[in-house]
Amino acid sequence: MSRRPNHNHSTSAQPIAFKGVFQVGDLANRVISVLRERTIAERSLLCDSIIDRLLIAISDPRGFDAEAALDMLRSAHLADKDIISCYIPEAARHLGCRWDQSDMSFAQVTTASARLQDMVRVLSSEWSERATRRSSADQLGILLVICENDTHTLGCATIAASLRHDGHSVRQIMSATQLDFRKALRQDWYDLIMFSCGRPQALETVAHFVKHARTSIRNVPPLILGGLVLSQSLDAKELTDVDLATNDLQLALKLCGTSAVVKRLVAE
């Protein structure tokens, strides 16, 4: 019998302010909402006993070794791609459900989430080396942006790692300001610019970024919006003027074609 937590459970506790950015109550709702977007194919890859072992590892108060956790998953004959696209997100969802059901404190969830992100970092570093060896004709240069005051770093790190696994070159800007974004555009040219957004409040900032890109770059690359905001704002695409709003990574990549454009400095 499946031991996955009941994601329909809701708590009556009052939400608590967290660093003035978002309410802690929103955290569990965001993580739980990811489950509703998971495909049947992704669910079929999941094994409850392996998820349980991963949850025990990332929740161990004695310490954590990201490489040992990855070895444990690989010993269960899991491919790295499945670990990062299915098992790590599923573990994050379980953490959100356990916090929502008061089975874990927010501090415990935060620590365990950081350990999941450490696993993503280890995998991503391995895949970055692979990307440097890939033919430049097949490699895409991608700029992945999270606006300032948006905090869903695990999801963004997972996307970046998946792209690197496929051999692409990814530059991430976390908590990006207008200055950060303009500087990134001046420093390099990208085949794709992706904005990962978790809150409707960040859409205005994304719109400013998109406007700057369209007015300062010759041959503007595809501009893509993704993230949990798409389940919270039905008109996110229109509000930001992006070319595509989707959480389907493969659909976003199709806008780039099958080969990368030669890198050049194009920002004014």
pLDDT in tens, 127-178: 655 555 555 556 789 999 988 767 667 777 788 888 888 888 889 898 889 9
Residues 112 and 218 in one domain: no
Residues 247 and 152 in one domain: yes
Q: Look at the chain and report how many structural domains it folds into.
A: 2
The answer to whether residue 18 scores a pLDDT higher than 90 is no
Section 17-45 average pLDDT: 43
CA distance 154 to 173: 13
The answer to whether position 264 is within a domain reads no
Domain housing 78: 17-132
Average pLDDT, the chain: 77
Please answer whether residues 165 and 81 qualify as being in contact, where contact means their C-beta atoms are separated by less than 8 angstroms.
yes
For residue 194, the model assigns a pLDDT of 94
Please answer whether residues 86 and 45 qualify as being in contact, where contact means their C-beta atoms are separated by less than 8 angstroms.
yes
The answer to whether residue 73 scores a pLDDT higher than 90 is yes
Please answer whether residues 211 and 193 qualify as being in contact, where contact means their C-beta atoms are separated by less than 8 angstroms.
no
Residue 202: other Cβ atoms inside 10 A: 20
Do strands 223-226 and 17-18 pair parallel, antiparallel, or not at all (unpaired)? unpaired
Section 10-22 average pLDDT: 36
Of residues 167 and 49, which shows the higher confidence score?
49
The answer to whether position 239 is within a domain reads yes
Section 222-245 average pLDDT: 91
CATH of the domain at 245: 3.40.50.280
Compute and round to an integer the Cα radius of gyration of the chain.
Answer: 19
Cα angle 110, 61, 157 (rounded to 5 degrees) comes to 35
Residues 190 and 106 in one domain: no
Of 75, 173, 71, whose CA–CA distance to 123 is shortest?
71
Please answer whether residues 240 and 147 qualify as being in contact, where contact means their C-beta atoms are separated by less than 8 angstroms.
no
Q: What φ, ψ does residue 193 adopt, rounded to 5°? A: -120, 120
For residue 258, the model assigns a pLDDT of 39
The answer to whether position 3 is within a domain reads no
pLDDT over 70 percentage in the chain: 72
For residue 134, the model assigns a pLDDT of 54
pTM over 0.85: no
The answer to whether residue 204 scores a pLDDT higher than 60 is yes
